[in-house]
Amino acid sequence: MNKTATMRGIRRVSVLLAPMIMMGCASTSVSVTDTPQKVAADVAKLPEVVDWTDANSTLFGFPQLEKKLLPLVKRCELTGAVPVVDRESFTFKPTQVTEMGKAVPGPRYAIQRTLVSRVTCPAPAAQPATESWAIEIGYRHQYKWFMAGENKLMDIWIRPTYVSGDELAQRAESKRINAEYAKLRQDEAKAAARQQERDMAEYIQRKNAERMARAPALRQNLKVGDRTRLANSGEDSAGLVVEIKRPLALVQFDRMTVNNEAKRWVNIDTIEPEK
């Protein structure tokens, strides 16, 4: 790789990592030739200390973490790949500290910061996916009581994990399989719902045909106490025959009212079985 291409790659990295370079930490003693595994091991040695009695406390030393990760991104860019730096919002929430069995007085402020959670170097163009790698970063915290000045401090411990290209490829394959399986299940559920709708429509059509076939016999032999409904009016017109004066029948409707009356004389030829 010629000098011009190298400088162009470094300039691209500088733009990409502008949010990562804090407190004048553009320089670093870590070489771009260091492996991701070595950088991960170095990062794991960086405990950060915070004064959690101050609502505006800063994470003293996290610029060191950013500086440690900068060569990784440069190394990735110089291989022709495009690195990805992910950040997440982490909340470090103090718990009630005790000393000699008694609660320690004083304010306890939750500290929330957006920190690097993952650095990924995809495989360069025309290279197998196994050439990729990533470092995933987690954080845990614990609290210490320092008598000098009665400062209450919190240690933030960085937990980086190196992820090989093989594992990334396995994750991608698992994600693909899971997505295909989820889509298959979704398609099956949609097909089942459509079939259920068709079955219900066929059932309703069949029941309507059966009811209409019984309508002539009902009308001919109609008697008080029969359950009926108005033809082509749905279940809301169902009711009980309470009196018959052919060709009319007085029906006591269950839910329907006509002129605020639940009873209505109807032509017997306009009624059919309720079900």
| Pairing assessment for the beta strands 48-51 and 133-146 based on DSSP bridges | unpaired
Q: Which residues pair with 75 in a beta bridge?
A: none
Cα(256)–Cα(259) distance, integer angstroms: 10
For the chain, 275 residues long, give each residue's pLDDT as a single digit of tens: 443 333 333 333 333 333 333 333 333 344 556 788 887 777 777 666 655 555 555 554 455 567 777 778 888 888 888 899 998 888 776 665 566 666 655 556 666 777 888 999 998 877 887 789 999 988 777 665 544 445 556 666 778 889 999 999 899 899 999 999 999 999 999 999 999 999 999 998 998 889 889 999 999 999 999 999 998 888 889 999 999 999 999 999 998 888 888 899 999 999 999 88
**At 208, which helix (H) or strand (E)?**
helix 165-220
Task: Report how far apart, in Å, the C-alpha atoms of 94 and of each of 57, 109, 153 are.
Answer: 13, 7, 10
pLDDT of residue 107: 52
Residues 20, 74 contacting (CB under 8 angstroms): no
Map out the domains of the chain as residue ranges: 3-163, 181-273
Cα(186)–Cα(7) distance, integer angstroms: 50
pLDDT of residue 106: 54
Q: For the domain made up of 181-273, give the CATH fold.
A: SH3 type barrels. (2.30.30)
